[in-house]
Amino acid sequence: MKRRRFIKKASLASSAAVLAGPHIYPVSTKVSPNDKIQLGVIGCNGMGWSNVNSMLKMDDVDLIAICDVDQGVINRRQGDYGKLRKNQPAVHGDYRELLANPEIDAVVIGTPDHWHCMPMVEALASGKHVFVEKPISNTIEECNLMVEAAKKYQKVVQVGQWQRSGPHYQKAIDLVRSGKLGNIRLVKVWAYQGWMKPVNKIPDEPAPAGVDYDFWLGPARQRPFNRNRFHFNFRWFWDYAGGLMTDWGVHEIDIALYAMQALAPVSVMATGGKLAYPDDASETPDTLQAVFQYENFSMLWEHATGIDHGPYGRREGIAFIGNNGTLVVNRQGYEVLVEHEAVNYHTKGAAKMESVEAFEKPRELNYLDLHTQNFIEAVKSNDPSKLNTPIESGSVAAINAQMGNIAYKTGSKVYWDPAKSSFIKNENANKLMRAKYHNGWKLPNP
């Protein structure tokens, strides 16, 4: 019989209690093995393992299966897990073997972006809940399929856009929606990443021993193995991801659009390119500006590699620019810059709004831990409505970010038709919405 025992008792503190108090986790207690949430992880080199490691801080969660195409990664994670728990997770090189295990309640998907859609849809079809990394997919078509699958199977799907679970982001969103900032005409979102250096060109080579490279490619086009495209750096190549626009962009765009209660733009245009490191190996732009026009406001996204001094002196963030004041929020906290009535060019008059005390994120709060705890709480009650970042929210952020990339790739201002879910009179842009699967793999059918 399939194991599907979702605990109704409150073994974790409620979200409200977590946000109100200094303690994130309940006092450690012994939990019956039959009452534990059994996890599997697909892709555990980077954020997949970070998500699992966060969930394992909860006593009523166990990892029972690990899947990766790199045996070296599996060996390393087996050692990491052995320091945390005593059970021995099963290991797999093929995610379908993991999904066939009826004992697994929930799956963490931490693969490269081009490998998010198929495992997520198939996990839901096998009766499992899913925590999927952001961006949820590499194309708009896949985003729509993933939302459709979640609706069909009625399972819990949390997206790894963990800023949604941060208390100070929630406070900032409430302030934006309060109207105190006045009419918000512009939202700026940005990521300046000084740590990013050129990706030096290196020759192709045979795949390392223990790596199933063909499986790693999956639906992506066939190419010789190159370490630049493997593991972390896959983000900078169009076959597998969308560069900083989708990597960092979904975090910031998610908060921006959720606060503004917006879904899709009227139009998007973008400019930029490989301007910082024109001769390095990466494909995605290291410098980009994209302007999104919504019904009542504009949003400006920009990213830059190799430099840290972004707008308002912050490496990353979101600025809600209103007639009365500007709220600037990032991972460290938020502040409000108050506008004043202008007496003349040199003199300020009365403040247009009451001052708001700046807020700094408490160091002891780990927002990823709050996010994974939210996921486990929703899994236990089998209630997607409890999620802080459900798949629908993940799709909004990913689709808007992908629109920015599409505008950049086409070199044109693109216009969106929400009724038809397509670009208006722009076949080049519409082609870029669609997924192209290779090597015998086919787009899943929810």
Please tell me whether residue 426 adopts helix, strand or coil conformation: coil
Q: What angle do CA 421, 425, 427 make, to 5 degrees?
A: 80
Q: How far apart are the first and last CA of the chain?
A: 24
The per-residue pLDDT string of the chain (446 residues; one tens digit each, 9 = 90 and over) reads 333 333 223 222 323 333 333 333 333 344 445 689 999 999 999 999 999 999 999 999 999 999 999 999 999 999 999 999 999 999 999 999 999 999 999 999 999 999 999 999 999 999 999 999 999 999 999 999 999 999 999 999 999 999 999 999 999 999 999 999 999 999 999 999 999 999 999 999 999 999 999 999 999 999 999 999 999 999 999 999 999 999 999 999 999 999 999 999 999 999 999 999 999 999 999 999 999 999 999 999 999 999 999 999 999 999 999 999 999 999 999 999 999 998 888 889 999 999 999 999 999 999 999 999 999 999 999 999 999 999 999 999 999 999 999 999 999 999 999 999 999 999 999 999 999 999 999 999 88
- Give the sign of the dihedral formed by CA 238, CA 309, CA 302, CA 299: positive
Burial category of 357 from C-beta neighbours within 10 Å (exposed 0-12, middle 13-18, buried 19 and up): exposed
Alpha-carbon distance 309 to 304, whole Å? 10
Alpha-carbon distance 38 to 245, whole Å? 34
**Rounded CA Rg of the chain:** 22
Query: Quick one: 379 and 400 in the same domain?
Result: no
Domain-located, residue 344: yes
Alpha-carbon distance 183 to 320, whole Å? 10
Query: Quick one: 124 and 175 in the same domain?
Result: no
CATH number of the domain residue 44 falls in: 3.40.50.720
CATH number of the domain residue 329 falls in: 3.30.360.10
Q: For residue 436, count other CB atoms closer than 10 A to its CB.
A: 13
Alpha-carbon distance 345 to 330, whole Å? 31
- Given this model, what pLDDT does residue 14 score? 29
CB contact at 8 A, 107 and 131: yes
Distance of CA 5 to the CA centre of its chain: 29
- Given this model, what pLDDT does residue 391 score? 98
Domain-located, residue 4: no
Give the domain extent around 58.
15-163+367-394
Q: At what angle do helices 140-153 and 117-125 cross, to 10 degrees?
A: 10
Query: Quick one: 155 and 256 in the same domain?
Result: no
Domain-located, residue 441: no
Alpha-carbon distance 290 to 270, whole Å? 4
Query: Quick one: 415 and 313 in the same domain?
Result: yes
- Given this model, what pLDDT does residue 16 score? 32
DSSP conformation letters of 111-141: S-GGGSHHHHHHHHHTT-EEEEPSSS-SSHH
- Give the sign of the dihedral formed by CA 407, CA 318, CA 369, CA 15: negative
Query: Quick one: 225 and 133 in the same domain?
Result: no
The first and second tokens of residue 61, run together, are 């969660």
Please tell me whether residue 382 adopts helix, strand or coil conformation: coil
- Given this model, what pLDDT does residue 30 score? 47
Q: How many residues does the chain have?
A: 446
Domain-located, residue 159: yes
Domain-located, residue 233: yes
Amino acid at residue number 391: I
CB contact at 8 A, 42 and 119: yes
Domain-located, residue 1: no
Query: Quick one: 64 and 184 in the same domain?
Result: no
Alpha-carbon distance 284 to 253, whole Å? 19
Domain-located, residue 10: no
Structural domain count of the chain: 2
Non-local CB neighbours of 118 within 8 Å, separated by 6+ positions: 218, 219, 441, 444
Domain-located, residue 88: yes
Query: Quick one: 155 and 175 in the same domain?
Result: no
